Structure 1
Amino acid sequence: MQGDGAVVVVVAVGGGLGSLARYAVARMMPVGPDAFPWATFGVNVLGCLLIGILLVLVTEAWTAHRLWRPFLGVGVLGGFTTFSTYAVEIVGLADGGRPVLAFTYLAGTLVAAFTAVVAGVWFTRAAVGVAVTKGSRDG
């Protein structure tokens, strides 16, 4: 395939694979309506860590084929993470009379996800020896 068609295909295939992985985690870690949604929290934080690692590898450390980033980043990790489910779970907790748990989940996920991305970037740069130069966006 030429052009954007190949990107659409790899994103769709990757998204299917990532969604299947997320579904498997959710099946292994069922959650009750009043409990902290550990499965969603875990996949979102892990997905953010992996996107930090991936982006350093494919943009700074390796010469990657042009389809790797859309396949892995948008497709697999986009399908694996689920911030829409996160939003629905927050509303469910709040509407179910658990506003403190809802807020804890909301804030905790944001902090943990952001921290995971930053940690993934920093540790991967250190592991592969990518130097951050003065004046770069995150340096």
Structure 2
Amino acid sequence: MTLLLSALAVVIGGALGATARWGIAEFMTRRSAARQQAGRAAPATGLELVPWPTFIANILACLLLGILVMRLGAVGGSAELAFMLLGVGFCGALSTVSTAALDVVNLVRRGATVLGLAYVLLTVGTGMAALWLGLVIGS
């Protein structure tokens, strides 16, 4: 496989993954706003501070990556191209450590340091579990 074809696969997958991450955040933001307008907002518990869109995107990316690793592995040919598109491009752009890190900083700035720490532990732990589950599903 040529370097140019691999790069193109990563670019296309990355564009799709980043768009999916944005879509998750946009959907959840609009849904929350609609619930508040309808008067169905949940009572304040601190959970509204949790950056759920980033968390969901990261966990979905881990699960999908686990499945892809088992299904496509390190084989050559079209499977390698599919892995570049989906594993490297899509999952790489869907998941985002930088946004999760910024979310933690924002939680700390709001005075929710314990929640920020819990978010880090929950994200890493759940991400690892999702990757493992993907490996099991994919085998």
Which TM-score bucket, shorter chain as reference?
A: 0.7 to 0.9
Give 1:133's aligned residue: none
Q: Corresponding residue for 1:7?
A: 6
Counterpart in the other structure of 2:121: 107
1 or 2, which has the higher helix percentage?
2
Secondary structure at the counterpart of residue 80 of structure 2:
coil
CA RMSD, 1 decimal: 2.4
User: Is the contact between residue 74 and residue 80 of structure 2 (CA under 8 Å) also seen in structure 1?
Assistant: no
Please, what TM-score do these two structures have when normalized by structure 2? 0.81
State the 1:60 CA deviation.
7.8
Gaps of 5+ in 2: 33-47
Query: Match for 2:17: what amino acid?
Result: G
Matched, 1:29 2:43: no
Counterpart residue identity of residue 36, structure 1 = V
Aligned-partner Cα distance in 2 for 1:121–1:15: 22
Q: Number of aligned pairs? A: 124
- Structure 1 runs of 4+ aligned residues shifted over 3 Å read none
Q: Cα deviation per residue 1:22-50 (whole Å; 9 max; x = unaligned)?
A: 1110001128xx61011110110111001
Structure 1 unmatched runs, 5+: 126-139
Q: Which moved more, 1:65-74 or 1:103-112?
A: 65-74
How far apart, in 1, do the equivalents of 2:66 and 2:112 lie? 32
Letter paired with 1:59: G
Percentage of pairs with the same residue: 33
CA-to-aligned-CA distance 1:103-133 (integer Å, 9 cap, x gap): 01000000000000011101221xxxxxxxx
